[in-house]
Each structure stands twice: as structure tokens, then as C-alpha cells.
Amino acid sequence: MEDSTHHMIDHSHSSRHGSLVSYIIGFVISIVLTLAAYFIVQQHVSSLHETFSHSFITFAVVGFALLQLLVQLIFFLHLGRDAKPHWNLIVFVYAFLLLLIIVVGSLWVMHHLNYNMMLMPPAEVDAYMLDK
Amino acid sequence: MTQDLSENKTVFGFWIYILSDCFLFATLFATYAVLHGSTFGGPGADTLFSLPFVLAETLILLTSSFTAGLAMLAGHQGKRIHVLVWIGITLLLGLTFVGLELREFAAFIAEGNSWTRSGFLSGFFTLVGTHGAHVAAGSLWMIVLMVQITKKGLTDTLMNRLMRWNLFWHFLDVVWIFIFTFVYLLGIAL
């Protein structure tokens, strides 16, 4: 009994904290993703905003960020490698869901408020309001 | 066994604190997204930020997240000197990051572009400044950890603290990925 309990704890420890190899893999992938996003933007700026479309830049750069989030969650924070039933992962997923609702919801609302419309200069807002 | 379970509980509790801190940053990100176009005749993100400067900041913080992980690994192997060396390197990188950020802030303020200039700059200073304050707090935590580990060695309690600090530091790098992407990269590109 004593032995098997000890073995269980020991096992969960070694798998939970990862290894040197997993840290190096996470580090290298993170650097590659950071540089990839950086060079896309640098290329775009040095070509006076003509190389890529703005929607392509947004999708690519945000995509790289989300990938890097995933890489660091797995290789640095060892998410999902805690003992079952994976409470760390469960509360993370729940928090992430609430977070998306708050951020996406807030931006959605703000985009539709007349006097707080983003990306619209004051003169255009006034013209829009008079039109209504 | 009991000891181990209570350790897991404190680390789990700290994980929940980190997730609640995510909400703080999420609201600041949302605020910045709403305000980023409101420059009030002042400079926008595309004229204010410098790409190479922010890349240097990013690589420094990313490397410090890696060395923090190495400190944790050395801790699990019971190598006290290695732990101290890796925390020391992480501390230097963390302080360099805070120093660079303060220099950036000082330069903006000297040009008359402080948080009072426009809604965009209020949002910028609040979001990036809150992250910087976290990095400064994490650096202070490292100094305390180094003193305690030097005095008491790698006891269970200190390993537990090391684990929580390690989570905190990785979390700060994750938040920075999004500041780097949404504030700086997209601010300059769009």
C-alpha cells in the first residue's frame, strides 16, 4: 500500500513538470512563432503596406499568437498533465470561455454604440448621428 | 501523502488566482481595443512604436520564461546552486525587461505623449503598465526566493513557492504574447 501510493505520487510529479527536452522544444517553437509574426509585419511596413492585405496580416499574426499560447500552455505550464480528473485544465477551459464572452461581448457592444464607434472620426460620427 | 496533497492544493489555488488575473488583463485588453483609435490628434500606434525595440523586449521575456523553467527543473533534481543561478539569470532578464519598458514610457512622456494625451495612450499605459507592474512584482518575488533558498535550502515549503512563482512567471510571458501581437504588431501593421 505504502509503496504503490508513493509510486503514484512520484509518477505524477515527473510527468507534471516536464523535462529539459520539453522546455527546449517549447522555447524554440516560441522563438520561431515570434520571429515569423515579426517578419510578416516588418515586410509589410517596409513595403509601405502593400505586400499583404490587412485581413491576411490580422489572421496570420493572431494565428501565430494563439499557436504560441498553445505551445506555452503545453510545454511551459504542462496543462492537462496533472493527475486526473485534470482540475487545472477544467478551470482553465471554463475561465477561457468566460473570458471570450467578456471580451468579444464588450467589443461587439462597443462597436454598435453610436457615439463610441471605433475607427470613426468625430466628424463622421456627427454626420451619422444627424442622418438618423 | 498529506503533505503532498496540501501542496497540490496551494498550487491549484494559485492557478485559480492566475486565471482571475487573466480577467483583469482581458478587461484591459478590451478597453484598449475600444480606445486604440481615439488618438485625439495625437500620435497613433503606427507612428509611436518601434518594431526592433519591442522584438528585443519580447525575446528577453521569452528567454526568462525558459530559464525560469530550468530553475524549476533544477529544483526537482535537488540542485540548489543550479536553482539559484537560473533564478539569478531570470531576475536579470526580468529587470532588463522592466528597465526597457520604463525607458520606453519615459521617452513617450518626454515627447508629451503621456496617458493624459489621448484615450489611446490611456489604454496603452494602463494595459502595458499593469503587465510591467506584474513583472516587477515577480522580480521582487525572485529576490525573496533566492534569499530564502540560500538560508533554508530546498525545503518542501520552498519547492512549493518555487512552483507557484514558476507558474506566475510563465503566465506573464503568455500575457506578453498578446500585448506584443495586439498592441505592437497589429498597431504598427494596420
Contact yes or no for B30 and A58 at CB 8 A: no
CA distance B187 to A81: 36
A47 plus A99 within the same structural domain: no
Contact yes or no for A72 and B36 at CB 8 A: no
CA distance B26 to B13: 20
How large is the angle between the packed helices B80-110 and B51-76, nearest 10 degrees? 160
Number of structural domains in chain A: 2
- Cis (ω within 30 of 0) for the bond into A85? yes
Contact yes or no for B19 and A19 at CB 8 A: no
A78 plus A88 within the same structural domain: no
Say what the pLDDT of residue A119 is. 65
* More confidently predicted of A119 and A12: A119
A78 plus A123 within the same structural domain: no
Asked if the C-beta of A32 comes within 8 angstroms of chain B's C-beta atoms, the answer is: no
A73 plus A107 within the same structural domain: no
Of B12, B51, B174, the CB nearest to A87: B12
A42 plus A68 within the same structural domain: yes
A43 plus A96 within the same structural domain: no
A70 plus A98 within the same structural domain: no
- Amino acid residing at A90: I
A42 plus A91 within the same structural domain: no
Q: Which 3-state string (H, E, C) describes B68-87?
A: HHHHHHHHHCCCHHHHHHHH
A1 plus A16 within the same structural domain: yes
Contact yes or no for A107 and B70 at CB 8 A: no
- The ipTM (two decimal places) reads 0.91
Asked if the C-beta of A107 comes within 8 angstroms of chain B's C-beta atoms, the answer is: yes
A43 plus A54 within the same structural domain: yes
DSSP assignment, residue A76?
Answer: T
Domain limits for position A93: 84-132
Contact yes or no for B189 and A54 at CB 8 A: yes
Tell me which residues of chain A, numbers 52 to 81, contact chain B at a CB-CB cutoff of 8 Å.
Answer: 54, 57-58, 61-62, 64-65, 68-69, 72-73, 76-77
A69 plus A93 within the same structural domain: no
Domains of chain B with bracketed CATH: 2-35+65-189 (1.20.120.80)
Question: Which residue in chain A has the smallest CA separation from B20?
Answer: A95
Of A44, A61, A83, the domain-final residue: A83
Say what the pLDDT of residue A3 is. 42
CA distance B172 to B149: 23
Per-residue pLDDT 10s for chain B (190 aa) are: 344 555 578 989 999 999 999 999 999 999 999 898 888 888 888 889 999 999 999 999 999 999 999 999 999 999 999 999 999 999 999 999 999 999 999 999 999 999 999 999 999 999 999 999 999 999 999 999 999 999 999 999 999 999 999 999 999 999 999 999 999 999 998 8
A3 plus A64 within the same structural domain: yes
Residue found by looking up cell 496570420 in the block: A60
Q: Is the pLDDT of residue A39 over 90?
A: yes
- Give the global pTM: 0.87
A32 confidence band (pLDDT: 50, 70, 90): very high
